[in-house]
Chains A and B, each alone.
Chain A
Amino acid sequence: MASATDTPPGVVLPPPITERGGVGWAYANLFSNWYNTVLTFIYAALLGVALWFGLSWIVLEADWKVIATLGGRLIIGQYNTEFACPGQNCFWRPQASLLLVSVLLGMAWAVSGDKAAKRIAIGVAAITVAFAFLPYSMDQMGLDVRLLLAANVPAVAAGWVLARRTPLGTVRWIVMLGVLFFLVILVLIGGVPGVPGLQPVSTIYWGGLMLNLLLAVTGITLSLPIGIALALGRRSSLPLVKLLCVVFIEVMRGMPLITLLFMSQVLVPLAFPQDFSTNSLFRAGIILTLFSSAYMAENIRGGLQALHPGQVEAARALGLAGWQTTVLISLPQAIRNVIPAIVGQFISLFKDTLLVYIIGMLDVVEFSRAFIQGNAEYLASARELFLFLALVFWIFTYTMSYVSRRVEVHLRVGQR
């Protein structure tokens, strides 16, 4: 130990070795006393065993052929089968949809000051190009499919140029284009009667990861505004509005999602004209969105409760109207304070999309399960397939939480 009395004034001493670098870190975190040392060795042994067996299975024993066999069907399910799209190749429609997403990502990269947008855009382009070079024969994976996959690179680039070189390069335009592209994608995938090449594909054949993503994107973009409205309604001074919001939130939160999805088969059709509501996808979308909105409302209400009452007082004292105070002062602060909870709800919603199997939709997990069950030769491959699906879901959810952390960093500028 350095003796403090010998230190001349104004001299800054470096911290002791136990506080610095790898040695300091290991000392402080792994070997600081005898039981930490024992725990370190026990955990190291357990980790070693798990890795040894896990990795040796993954490398030596696992047979990943099932994933190659399923291939694009994991992405689109039954969409491009003979019943869904008779007499035509419809694979290009989801692929073209992905190109639109790539354009948006390219635009986001050009506009965003953060490296997250750039990394995601490059990541998507790189992964899709990698798929274009998969060692399938040309019979299994045609040149058209490969070209459309590779086209995601120019699509990202086109988005980037569009945002940098034209007046479209603003957040507002990207959001508006995002909504527009989403509608275009729905039309593209759903088809238009009478248009050659765009023959309608019933929503019962929409499936695979595409279905999970469509439901998640719809749910995420709609549940946030609905949740905000519900949260404000629950704090309203109008008794009827407040009552309706409380009842809605508590009913939605009080029931398991599976029950709600079941009930949607029976109850939602009652609220719509008969021919309109026979659509499972539409029902699932509504239920997922409303279910998520109820949780979202409580997250946002929590953020509003946490605000210092002085904020509203100061705004009112300046003469801002009630709605201006809410929009300009309360909500921006409340939402930024509960970003982790909001993104948690987004992630939860994304994972909940696979529950649509309950009403007979073949999302990526259900499609895989049905495939394994229907093809006895792949029964032994369930482990590989579901491990792969877990990885796919993890990549999406981790991307969401990565983006949310970057957003938090940017919003925290100069805070507290």
Chain B
Amino acid sequence: MAASESTIDTSDMIVCRDVHKWYGNFHALRGVTTTVRKREVVVVVGPSGSGKSTFIRTINRLEEHQRGDIIVDGIELSNDVRNIDAIRRDVGMVFQSFNLFPHLTAMDNITLAPMKVRKLPARQAEEIAEQLLERVGIAEQAGKYPGQLSGGQQQRVAIARALAMQPKIMLFDEPTSALDPEMIKEVLDVMRELAESGMTMVVVSHEIGFTREVADRVLMFDHGQIIEESATEEFFDNPKEDRTKLFLSQILA
């Protein structure tokens, strides 16, 4: 995107300090502390129910945290609605189940938020959408409805939809888990290209090849906590925690 190559900005995009989250009595996040810097790609792994999805959903406040601080791009997440709206404009999200709007065409899915939230004129929003559909490789599908697209195509439209708001951060919540094997690659290719363009990304994923290639850092979640956090190579080649070793042995098997 438009990120300039000359000055590599390493400021903190996401800062989490001692974040706690309860669902009723269930303690889902138990003191999560981490920092994601600009242009960094962080992959979150962990067994199911470990809180990794909850964690990334607190970053744009789809889930509310009850204790601790989350600061996204310098804005603290609080109950202040204006802050939440500001953060949601700057944070794009891609879901496991795509969540495209089935009553709108691919084009309308992408132009909706730029027109209604950023108040862009229709023509400008459509130009952006066309560029993005080109970028994710499905320019010819603009007029189709989600139900007429394959899973991989739907997820690429969903990525284009998130990018249309020109976010500073992209969150991916298991973006390839619901896809047939032959469609996973087309989505990962788009994400790889996005990472190369300098987007700050937090990805919940178990795609080891993608993670090794693209991630700067890996966070290992278990029981609502980050039990291991290290640079990608270090994480795979020299894990410290027994739980991490067990987990890696299971997903690499």
Q: A-side interface residues toward B, CB under 8 Å?
A: 308, 310-311, 313-321, 324, 328-329, 332-333, 336, 411, 413-416
Residue B89 interfacial (CB < 8 Å): yes
Q: Is the CB of B148 within 8 A of A414?
A: yes
Q: Is the CB of B89 within 8 A of A314?
A: no
Q: Is the CB of B145 within 8 A of A413?
A: yes
CA distance A321 to B88 in the complex (A): 10
Q: Is the CB of B117 within 8 A of A314?
A: no
8 Å CB interface, B56-100 against A: 60, 62, 85, 88-89, 91-93, 95, 97, 99-100
A415's contact among B60, B147, B162, by CB below 8 Å, is which?
B147
Residue B121 interfacial (CB < 8 Å): no
Residue B101 interfacial (CB < 8 Å): yes
Q: Is the CB of B113 within 8 A of A416?
A: no
CA distance A319 to B147 in the complex (A): 24
Q: Is the CB of A317 within 8 A of B102?
A: no
Given contacts A414-B144, A415-B147, contact A318 B165 (CB under 8 A): yes
A316's contact among B88, B147, B161, by CB below 8 Å, is which?
B88
CA distance A100 to B158 in the complex (A): 47
Residue B123 interfacial (CB < 8 Å): no
CA distance A414 to B141 in the complex (A): 12
CB-CB < 8 A to B97: which residues of A? 308, 310
B60's contact among A317, A333, A414, by CB below 8 Å, is which?
A317
Scan B146-184; emit 1 where CB is below 8 A from any A CB, else 0.
Answer: 011000000000100110010000000000000000000
Q: Is the CB of A310 within 8 A of B62?
A: no
Q: Is the CB of A313 within 8 A of B148?
A: no
CA distance A310 to B144 in the complex (A): 20
Closest chain A residue to B87 by CB distance? Answer: A319
Q: Is the CB of A319 within 8 A of B165?
A: yes
Q: Is the CB of B102 within 8 A of A416?
A: yes
Nearest CB of chain B from residue A309's CB, rounded to whole Å:
9
Nearest CB of chain B from residue A415's CB, rounded to whole Å:
5
Closest chain B residue to A415 by CB distance? Answer: B147
Nearest CB of chain A from residue B26's CB, rounded to whole Å:
18
Q: Is the CB of B165 within 8 A of A308?
A: no
Q: Is the CB of A318 within 8 A of B88?
A: yes
Closest chain A residue to B161 by CB distance? Answer: A318
Closest chain B residue to A312 by CB distance? Answer: B99
Scan B115-139; emit 1 where CB is below 8 A from any A CB, else 0.
Answer: 0110000000000000000000000
Closest chain A residue to B105 by CB distance? Answer: A414
Nearest CB of chain A from residue B64's CB, rounded to whole Å:
12
Residue B112 interfacial (CB < 8 Å): yes
A320's contact among B95, B116, B158, B162, by CB below 8 Å, is which?
B116
B88's contact among A317, A336, A414, A415, by CB below 8 Å, is which?
A317
Sampled A-B contacts (22; CB under 8 Å): A308-B97, A311-B99, A316-B88, A317-B162, A318-B112, A318-B162, A318-B165, A320-B116, A320-B117, A321-B85, A321-B117, A324-B117, A329-B101, A333-B101, A333-B102, A333-B103, A411-B103, A414-B105, A414-B145, A415-B102, A415-B145, A415-B147
* Main DSSP-derived SS at the A contact region: helix
Report, as a range, how many residues of chain B touch the other chain.
20 to 34
Closest chain A residue to B89 by CB distance? Answer: A319
CB-CB < 8 A to A314: which residues of B? 93, 95, 99-101, 158
Instruction: Give me the 3 closest cross-chain CB pairs, A-B, nearest first.
Output: A414-B145, A314-B99, A310-B99
Closest chain B residue to A336 by CB distance? Answer: B103
CA distance A313 to B93 in the complex (A): 10
CA distance A324 to B119 in the complex (A): 13
CA distance A197 to B117 in the complex (A): 55
CB-CB < 8 A to A317: which residues of B? 60, 62, 88, 91-93, 162
Q: Is the CB of A320 within 8 A of B99?
A: no
Nearest CB of chain A from residue B69's CB, rounded to whole Å:
21
Closest chain A residue to B118 by CB distance? Answer: A319
CB-CB < 8 A to A328: which residues of B? 112, 116
Q: Is the CB of A324 within 8 A of B116?
A: yes
CA distance A317 to B161 in the complex (A): 11
CA distance A320 to B101 in the complex (A): 13
8 Å CB interface, B189-205 against A: none
Highest count of chain B CB atoms <10 Å: which of A318, A329, A336, A414: A318
Nearest CB of chain B from residue A80's CB, rounded to whole Å:
48
Nearest CB of chain B from residue A248's CB, rounded to whole Å:
29
Known: A318-B165, A328-B116. 8 other contacts (CB 8 A): A308-B97, A314-B158, A316-B62, A318-B88, A319-B113, A320-B117, A324-B117, A411-B103
Given contacts A329-B101, A333-B102, contact A313 B145 (CB under 8 A): no
Q: Is the CB of B144 within 8 A of A319?
A: no
A308's contact among B99, B112, B117, by CB below 8 Å, is which?
B99
CB-CB < 8 A to B147: which residues of A? 414-416
CB-CB < 8 A to A321: which residues of B? 85, 117
Nearest CB of chain B from residue A332's CB, rounded to whole Å:
5
Q: Is the CB of B113 within 8 A of A318?
A: yes
